[in-house]
Amino acid sequence: MSPSSLDEDQLETATLENDLLETLIEELQTLRAENERLTARIDDLEQSVDSLESRTETLETDHTEVQDCLEDHQQDLERVESLAKATRNRTGANKARLEELQARELEKGAHLRESNADVHELDIAADTLERFTKTDGRAYYRLPDHEDPLDRGNDVALAHGDLLPIQQLARMDEDMRRSTANALPTRLAAKLWQARTDSTVGDDPWKPGTSGVREYLEASDLKHWIRRQEQGISETYAKKLVSRTIDAILECANHRLAVRKRTQRKNGLEYTERRLVLPADAEIPGETTTDADQAPETADVHG
């Protein structure tokens, strides 16, 4: 073979090898680009997985919070239902007490305002109630032909709801008063008011007043009165009960009474005495006198 032919073969071989090398380089570049694209895709997928895991954790947290909230609401609902049940029980007991008190008052001759009395629930011996209209234009119930026992005029009624709390308590007997008022000062306040209004009770520490005062009571007299009512209590405890009883009667009388301090002198020494005062202009249901003396109009009888 001639030298020229050998050079041509070598050149051709070199050209083929060069073309093959370029092809390999292009394929490698293509593979590298594809690898980079796949790597980027994997990174995106990994980020998506992380995002999904984060969202899943968030949903699980939200679900737990919702579950906890539902449990809290369920507990609140159970508490509300329990309170509602207790309220219904107390309401029923109070309604029974009120009906018993109204029945007793009717049998004593009281007049109950029609809007305050459920005549079908009242257990009365007479088993018959009379409905009539007073001069105030309102309808009332009473036992047939029973006039107002306190003779206070036809426009003033003894309906339980019209009375001050202290008057309601004063009308109760000892058992009912004890079941209604747990606190001793409140029961003493009711007794004190009863002594003021009912002459048959006796041991009345109230004194008639002057200059705009209907009646008053010295704190020192109240202390002795309390010791007579509650046998065996000490003077120290009686002093505490004086303040608590005064507070109770003020509250239960809707503050129609007042406490005033009066400076007095005894054995050459000055001292300040508290005085429980019922002002002459205090509005006490049933104790307001009127000029009306017209007989009530009888409407009908319920039996």
Residue 155 binned pLDDT confidence (cut-offs 50, 70, 90): very low
Percentage of the chain lying above the pLDDT 90 cut: 27
CB 294 within 8 A of CB 154: yes
Task: Render pLDDT for 183-225 as a digit per residue (tens, 0 to 9).
Answer: 999 999 999 999 998 888 888 999 999 889 999 999 999 999 9
Task: Render pLDDT for 41-61 as a digit per residue (tens, 0 to 9).
Answer: 888 888 888 887 878 788 778
- How many whole angstroms separate alpha carbon 212 and alpha carbon 255? 16
CB 258 within 8 A of CB 279: yes
Q: State pTM to two decimals.
A: 0.47
* CB contact set of 175 (below 8 Å; sequence gap of 6+): none
Residue 295 binned pLDDT confidence (cut-offs 50, 70, 90): very low
- What does 96-160 look like in DSSP terms, one character per residue? HHHHHHHHHHHHTT--EEGGG--TTT---SS--EEEEE-TTS-EEEESTTPPPTT---TT----G
Provide the mean pLDDT of the chain. 79
Least confident of 45-54, 153-162, 170-179, 287-296: 287-296
Confidence (pLDDT) at 303: 45
Task: Render pLDDT for 11-36 as a digit per residue (tens, 0 to 9).
Answer: 778 788 788 888 888 888 888 888 88
Confidence (pLDDT) at 135: 65
In terms of pLDDT, which residue wins out, 170 or 288? 170
Tokens of 150: 């306190």
- How many whole angstroms separate alpha carbon 303 and alpha carbon 293? 28
Task: Render pLDDT for 51-106 as a digit per residue (tens, 0 to 9).
Answer: 878 787 887 787 788 787 877 878 887 887 777 777 676 666 777 777 777 777 77
* CB contact set of 179 (below 8 Å; sequence gap of 6+): 97
Mean pLDDT, rounded, for 278-291: 74
CB 103 within 8 A of CB 122: yes
Residue 136 binned pLDDT confidence (cut-offs 50, 70, 90): low
